[in-house]
């Protein structure tokens, strides 16, 4: 009888065929979802309305990754959610089988190869690189040494016009109180090697735009990481006549999706110069504000876009002095919810609700520009569904009963 190590056990998992190697599970228990390259056998398991990613791996690595993912979840770090480790597995003839690590499927998230399948424009590759850089910086800020930085160990979710990146493989990771410069450089070195190989692989398969050079791409990743890290943690000095630069620094960090919990501000002895440095930086400034106002739990750039629309709604309805929470409720019921309700049920697997609203805003703007007048919300929602959404591929879970493709 297998053993389940889990903080939130799901009794529906018990009857599954744990005595069978994961590679031999029948399609009755599996679901077809895109997955990245892995050293281990990985499958997606459907348990009624839940989807779990299952990875077969030796016991000490499974336990290490499970506990590490739990730690990352506790400090609100972008990573997949661990569910359980299944140990004590044996085949019918008594042969021991490797444990299985179970994580919750991250809805609407895609491995990088799925994004490159139909060809990706150079500017989209740049947005993927930016998402990867932000993820690496966020991990380093909390003291996480990745140890195997790569696109294959990352999942990407659409986040308004950008992407949000999530850690999907923490097998080689280590969590420390903080990282030294040498440890961060080690991760950067690994990123350079691994991503160069992955971009070369895409190039060889004809999936990388001819205008993009793998070496230039990895150099961009390194340069962008260093710029972001300096913005997040670097000290800045100026004289007292430039005190506005404190607010400017905070605004730049907010625009990057980070919130400054505390600033270390010091002045020299004669008071002629000021030195500031962020001491504690948390991610999710805009998404937390949107969640507080509306209850919508979104990615950071989606939250920024929706908050901009909320601010525009406040101005259009002349409610600048009204309570923010009251205006947010009106915007939710008069703008956001009518657009989402306009999407037929069978198209909801195309995008999550926040992404749908972001794309609707783009569509409405273009239609209004072409018409030379504001297109109504109802007309724009109907046009977006017919002209855009129904032509997009599904990015959520397929319907129950779909099998798993040959691998």
- 332 and 382 housed in the same domain: yes
- 115 and 227 housed in the same domain: yes
Percentage of the chain modeled with pLDDT above 70: 89
Last residue of some domain: 56, 74, 104? 104
Which pLDDT score is estimated for 294?
Answer: 92
Taking the C-alpha atoms of residue 127 and residue 51, their distance in angstroms, rounded to an integer, is 28
Does the pLDDT value for residue 283 go beyond 70?
Answer: no
CATH code of the domain covering residue 24: 3.30.200
Q: Which of 208, 132, 146, 206 is nearest to 175 (CA)?
A: 146
- Contact (CB, 8 A) for 244 and 254: no
Bridge partners, residue 109, by sequence: 157
Does the pLDDT value for residue 85 go beyond 70?
Answer: yes
Residue 169 lies in a domain: yes
Q: What is the domain range of residue 85?
A: 3-104
Last residue of some domain: 216, 233, 250? 233
- 314 and 353 housed in the same domain: yes
Which pLDDT score is estimated for 318?
Answer: 84
- 50 and 70 housed in the same domain: yes
Contacts with 327 (C-beta within 8 Å, 6 or more apart), sequence order: 310, 313, 314, 317, 319
Residue 309 lies in a domain: yes
pLDDT tens-place string over residues 57-68 = 999 999 999 999
Residue 365 lies in a domain: yes
Residue 397 lies in a domain: no
CATH code of the domain covering residue 214: 1.10.510.10
What is this structure's pTM? Answer: 0.74
Structure tokens at 248: 């400017």
More confident call, 308 vs 173: 173
pLDDT tens-place string over residues 174-213 = 999 999 999 999 999 999 999 999 999 989 988 888 889 9
- 130 and 162 housed in the same domain: yes
Residue 288 lies in a domain: no
pLDDT tens-place string over residues 100-159 = 999 999 888 888 888 776 667 888 888 888 889 989 998 999 999 999 999 989 999 888
Taking the C-alpha atoms of residue 216 and residue 196, their distance in angstroms, rounded to an integer, is 9
Percentage of the chain modeled with pLDDT above 90: 48
Q: Quick count: other Cβ atoms within 10 Å of Cβ 316?
A: 9
- 302 and 251 housed in the same domain: no
Taking the C-alpha atoms of residue 68 and residue 74, their distance in angstroms, rounded to an integer, is 10
Q: Which of 109, 116, 110 is nearest to 200 (CA)?
A: 116
In what side-by-side order are the strands of the sheet with 273-283? 236-239, 273-283, 258-267
At residue 261 the predicted structure's pLDDT band, cuts being 50, 70 and 90, is low
Main-chain phi, psi angles of 387, to 5 degrees: -90, -25
Please identify which residue in the block is written with the tokens 């991610």.
Answer: 283
- Measured in whole angstroms, the distance separating CA 367 from the mean position of its chain's CA atoms is 30
Q: How many separate domains does the chain show?
A: 4
Residue 407 lies in a domain: no
- 241 and 217 housed in the same domain: no
Last residue of some domain: 40, 74, 104? 104
pLDDT tens-place string over residues 208-256 = 888 899 999 999 999 999 988 988 888 888 776 676 777 787 778 777 7
């Amino acid at each position: 009888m297998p053993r389940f190590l889990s903080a939130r056990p799901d009794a529906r998992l018990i009857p599954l065929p744990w005595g069978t190697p994961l590679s031999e599970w029948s399609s009755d228990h599996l679901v077809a979802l895109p997955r990245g390259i892995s050293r281990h056998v990985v499958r997606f398991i459907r348990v009624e309305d839940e989807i779990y990613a299952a990875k077969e791996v030796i016991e000490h690595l499974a336990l290490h990754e499970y506990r590490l993912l739990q730690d990352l979840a506790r400090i609100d770090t972008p990573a997949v959610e661990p569910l359980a480790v299944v140990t004590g597995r044996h085949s019918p003839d008594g042969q021991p089988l490797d444990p299985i690590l179970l994580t919750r499927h991250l809805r609407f998230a895609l491995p990088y190869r799925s994004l490159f399948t139909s060809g990706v424009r150079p500017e989209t590759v740049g947005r993927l690189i930016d998402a990867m850089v932000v993820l690496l910086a966020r991990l380093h800020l909390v003291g996480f040494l990745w140890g195997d930085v790569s696109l294959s160990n990352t999942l990407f979710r659409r986040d308004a016009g950008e992407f949000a990146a999530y850690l999907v493989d923490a097998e080689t990771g280590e969590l420390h109180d903080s990282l030294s410069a040498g440890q961060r450089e080690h991760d950067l070195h690994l990123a350079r090697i691994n991503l160069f190989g992955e971009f070369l692989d895409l190039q060889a398969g004809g999936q990388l735009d001819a205008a993009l050079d793998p070496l230039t791409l990895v150099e961009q990743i390194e340069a962008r990481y260093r710029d972001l890290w300096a913005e997040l943690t670097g000290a800045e000095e100026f004289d007292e006549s430039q005190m506005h630069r404190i607010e400017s620094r905070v605004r730049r960090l907010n625009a990057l999706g980070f919130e400054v919990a505390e600033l270390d501000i010091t002045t020299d002895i004669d008071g002629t110069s000021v030195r500031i440095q962020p001491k504690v930086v948390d991610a999710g400034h805009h998404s937390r504000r949107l969640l507080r106002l509306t209850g919508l739990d979104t990615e950071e750039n989606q939250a920024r876009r929706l908050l901009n629309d909320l601010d525009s709604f406040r101005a259009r309805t002349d409610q600048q002095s009204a309570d923010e929470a009251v205006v947010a409720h009106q915007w939710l019921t008069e703008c956001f919810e009518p657009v989402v309700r306009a999407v037929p049920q069978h198209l909801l697997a195309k995008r999550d609700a926040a992404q749908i609203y972001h794309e609707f805003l783009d569509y409405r703007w273009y239609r209004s520009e072409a018409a030379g007048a504001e297109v109504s919300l109802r007309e724009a929602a109907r046009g977006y569904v017919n002209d855009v959404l129904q032509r997009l591929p599904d990015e959520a879970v397929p319907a129950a009963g779909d099998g798993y493709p040959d691998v």
